[in-house]
A and B are shown apart, each in its own frame.
Chain A
Amino acid sequence: MKPDLREKIEQRKDVLSSIKEELIDRLQLEYSVDDIDDDTFLFGGGLSLDSIDAMDIIIGLQSRFGVLLPDGEIASMRTINTLADFVQAES
Chain B
Amino acid sequence: MHNSNMIAAFYGKDETAGQRDGAIIPASYDTVETEYWRIRKGVALTDYSHYGKFKFEGDGALEFINSISFADALRIPINRMMPSYILKEDGSVFCEAMIGNYGDAYFVLTEGVEPEKILDLLREEIEKRALATRITDQTQTQALIGIDGPYAWELLKSFMGSSIIGTRYLEIIRGEHLDGMLFDLYRAGKTGEYGYVLKVESELALDFWKKLLDLGQDFDLRPAGYQALDLCRMENRFANMHYEAGSANNILELNTRVMVSRDKGDYIGRAAVEEKLENGIERRLIGLVLENDDDGALTPIQSGTGVYCDGDKIGEIANSGFSFSLKRSIALAFLDVDFAYAGLDYRLEDGKGERGARTVSAPFIFNQSLRIRPQEDSYFNAT
Chain A interfacial positions (CB closer than 8 Å to B)? 1-2, 5, 8-9, 12-13, 31, 34-41, 44-47, 74-75, 78-79, 81-82, 84-85, 88
A44-B169, A81-B362 known; A38+B257 contact, CB < 8 A: no
Whether A9 touches B363, Cβ cut-off 8 Å, given contacts A39-B237, A40-B258, A46-B258, is no
Report if B361 contacts A (CB, 8 A). Answer: yes
- A47 contacts across to B, CB distance below 8 A: 258
In whole angstroms, how far apart are the Cα atoms of A34 and B260 in the complex? 12
Pairwise interchain contact B338-A39, C-beta atoms closer than 8 A:
no
CA distance A84 to B256 in the complex (A): 19
Task: Report yes or no: B237 in contact with A75, Cβ–Cβ below 8 A.
Answer: no
**Which residues on B sit within 8 Å (CB–CB) of A46?**
258
Residue of B83, B286, B344, B363 with most partner-chain A CB within 10 A: B363
Q: Is the CB of A79 within 8 A of B361?
A: yes
Does B103 sit at the interface, judged by CB under 8 A?
no
> Are B258 and A81 in contact, with the CB atoms below 8 A?
no
B333-376 contacts to A, CB under 8 A, are 338-339, 341-344, 361-363, 366, 370
**A85-B257 in contact (CB<8A):** no
Asked, given contacts A39-B237, A40-B255, A40-B258, whether A81 binds B338 with beta carbons under 8 Å apart, the answer is no
B257-300 contacts to A (CB < 8 Å): 257-258, 260, 284-287
Q: How many residues from B make CB contacts under 8 Å with A?
A: 26
Name A74's contact: one of B169, B170, B362, B370 (CB within 8 Å): B370
Is the beta-carbon distance between B362 and A36 smaller than 8 angstroms? no
A2 to B83, CA, bound (A): 39
| Max count, chain B CB within 10 A of own CB: residue among A13, A36, A39, A46 | A39
> Closest approach, in angstroms, between the C-beta of A58 and any C-beta of chain B?
16
Q: Are B342 and A12 in contact (CB under 8 A)?
A: yes
- Report chain A residues within 8 Å CB of B170: 44-45
- In the complex, A5 Cα to B237 Cα: how many Å? 26
Question: A-B pairs with the 6 shortest C-beta distances?
Answer: A81-B361, A37-B255, A39-B362, A39-B255, A75-B366, A44-B169
> For A2, what are the chain B residues with a Cβ–Cβ distance below 8 Å?
310
Residues in B neighbouring A88, C-beta threshold 8 A: 343
Most A-side CB within 10 Å, residue of B170, B286, B344, B361: B361
12 pairs of residues in contact across A and B, judged by CB atoms under 8 Å: A5-B309, A9-B344, A12-B343, A31-B258, A37-B284, A38-B255, A39-B255, A39-B287, A40-B255, A75-B366, A79-B363, A85-B343
User: CA separation between A47 and B255, bound complex, in Å?
Assistant: 12
Residues of B within 8 A of A75 (CB): 366
Closest to A45 in B: B83
Cα A9 to Cα B309 with chains together (Å): 13
Is there contact, CB below 8 Å, between A1 and B309? yes
Whether A78 touches B362, Cβ cut-off 8 Å, given contacts A38-B342, A39-B286, A85-B342, is yes
4 more A-B residue pairs beyond the given contacts A38-B361, A39-B286, A78-B361, with a C-beta to C-beta distance below 8 A? A45-B169, A78-B362, A81-B362, A82-B361
In the complex the two chains form, is B361's CB within 8 Å of A9's CB? no
Task: List B contacts of A40 (CB < 8 A).
Answer: 255, 257-258
Measured CB to CB, the nearest residue on chain A to B75 is A48
- The answer to whether A9 and B258 have CB atoms under 8 Å apart is no
* CB–CB A9/B341 < 8 A: yes
